[in-house]
């Protein structure tokens, strides 16, 4: 077997979703014989390991690694997967998401045609069986975006997902690009490293090849919908890691930085932790609020709402008193619900 693509799939208690994700790889038009699936299980305690054992007995091109202790994050498993994969190109998939049937073929062919370090495509948001194309600034770009550096068009940084991309493995290894462990924003951090270092980036802006499953039920929430103190802490660490990486590489991307701060602000306001802890994080973020781009233009909101959001962000960062006032406002449940359901993209 000489696979052309390694799909890295971390699992943990995945019995409910795993076969849907696996079958979306198995049924690729690219040909399953050209794909290696590297599955790293984070010490599941449901039937996931039994499912993996059955799959390994049925298919040759599946590599399974079982972690002895739970790491609590897919990052460690993904890092192991990068090292253990044997193909020229790498893709990522999470246990509760799935691929369109031709994504491997589309991304691989583009990677070979352009000799690209990264090829990006667009995603569907999948919720309760309904699939919606995610809208953002890439809607207004050319069908195929070809960059020799992310500096040529930083708007591509809006694509923070890892699952809608293919990466040249040698590029990742040569530049020591990996996932931060025990942090959130780990996907964004990975992509920021990759985009900064890449010398050829392709974005297929007219092709949607990945389905991101949004889980919001109380007993099955995505991490991105769980506003706990622990997750806020991990989100803040990830935020700092991203900005330290930009600074280390002498990069400044005002729109990306402002939107990332907006996302973290949503977490701060919705987190169920004590206000003193939120204030502590705010004080550590003051310098970033001061640099917030007042003229940030978000694609999915009206101009008036956009202006109000920008003013709101600048107001928060004006001083500690303003921040405390905003925290009081979000004691009201209807405002919290409004913010929680609000989705914006650049």
Rg (CA), the chain: 20
Residues recorded for the chain = 346
The winner for highest mean pLDDT among 212-226, 250-264, 298-312, 324-338 is: 250-264
Closest CA to 86 of 165, 13, 3, 160: 3
Q: Tell me which H or E stretch contains 15.
A: none
pLDDT tens digits for range 55-85: 999 999 999 999 999 998 899 999 999 999 9
Distance CA 258, CA 121 (A): 23
Q: What pLDDT, on the 0 to 100 scale, is given for residue 338?
A: 77
The whole-model pTM stands at 0.92
Tokens of 126: 């999948």
Q: What SS3 state is found at 297?
A: coil
pLDDT tens digits for range 193-221: 999 999 999 999 999 999 999 865 545 54
Q: What pLDDT, on the 0 to 100 scale, is given for residue 55?
A: 95
pLDDT tens digits for range 216-249: 554 554 555 578 899 999 999 999 999 999 999 9
Mean pLDDT of the chain: 92
Answer yes or no: is pLDDT of 346 > 50.
Answer: no
Categorize the per-residue pLDDT at 335 as very low, low, confident or very high, splitting at 50, 70 and 90. Answer: confident
Contact between 242 and 188 (Cβ < 8 Å): yes
Give the fold, CATH level 3, of 5-213: Spore Coat Polysaccharide Biosynthesis Protein SpsA; Chain A (3.90.550)
Query: Where would I find the H helices in the chain?
Result: 18-26, 48-58, 74-84, 103-114, 169-174, 186-197, 229-248, 254-270, 275-290, 303-316, 320-329, 333-341
30-54: average pLDDT:
96
Tokens of 94: 């999470």
Distance CA 182, CA 285 (A): 20
| Domain range list for the chain | 5-213, 227-341
Cβ-based neighbours of 131, under 8 Å, separated by 6 or more: 124, 125, 211
Distance CA 297, CA 292 (A): 12
């Amino acid at each position: 077997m000489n696979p052309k693509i390694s799909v890295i799939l971390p699992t943990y208690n995945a019995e409910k979703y795993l076969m849907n994700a696996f079958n979306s790889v198995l049924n690729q038009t690219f040909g399953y014989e050209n794909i290696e699936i590297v599955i790293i299980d984070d010490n599941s305690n449901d039937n996931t390991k039994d499912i993996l054992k059955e799959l390994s007995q049925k298919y040759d091109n599946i590599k399974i690694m079982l972690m002895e202790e739970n790491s609590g994050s897919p990052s460690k498993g993904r890092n192991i997967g990068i090292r253990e994969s044997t193909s020229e190109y790498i893709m990522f998939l999470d246990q509760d998401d799935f691929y369109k049937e031709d994504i491997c073929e589309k991304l691989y062919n583009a990677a070979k045609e352009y000799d690209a370090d990264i090829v990006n495509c667009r995603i569907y948001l999948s919720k309760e069986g309904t699939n919606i194309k995610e809208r953002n600034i890439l809607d207004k770009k050319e069908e195929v975006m070809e960059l020799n550096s992310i500096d040529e068009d930083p708007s591509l940084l809006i694509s923070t997902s890892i699952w809608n991309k293919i990466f040249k493995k040698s590029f990742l290894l040569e530049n020591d690009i990996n996932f931060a462990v025990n942090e959130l924003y780990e996907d964004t951090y990975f992509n920021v490293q990759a985009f900064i270092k890449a010398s050829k980036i392709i974005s297929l802006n007219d092709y949607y090849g990945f389905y991101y499953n949004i889980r919001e039920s109380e007993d099955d929430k995505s991490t991105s919908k769980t506003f706990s103190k622990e997750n806020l802490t991990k989100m803040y660490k990830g935020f700092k890691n991203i900005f330290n990486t930009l600074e280390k590489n002498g990069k400044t991307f005002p729109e990306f930085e402002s939107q990332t701060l907006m996302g973290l602000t949503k977490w701060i306001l919705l987190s169920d932790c004590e206000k003193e802890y939120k204030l502590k994080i705010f004080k550590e973020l003051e310098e970033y609020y001061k640099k917030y781009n007042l003229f940030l233009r978000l694609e999915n909101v009206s101009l008036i709402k956009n202006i109000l959001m920008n003013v709101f962000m600048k107001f928060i960062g004006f001083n500690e008193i303003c921040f405390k006032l905003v925290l009081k406002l979000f004691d009201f449940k209807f405002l919290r619900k409004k913010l929680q359901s609000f989705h914006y993209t650049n």
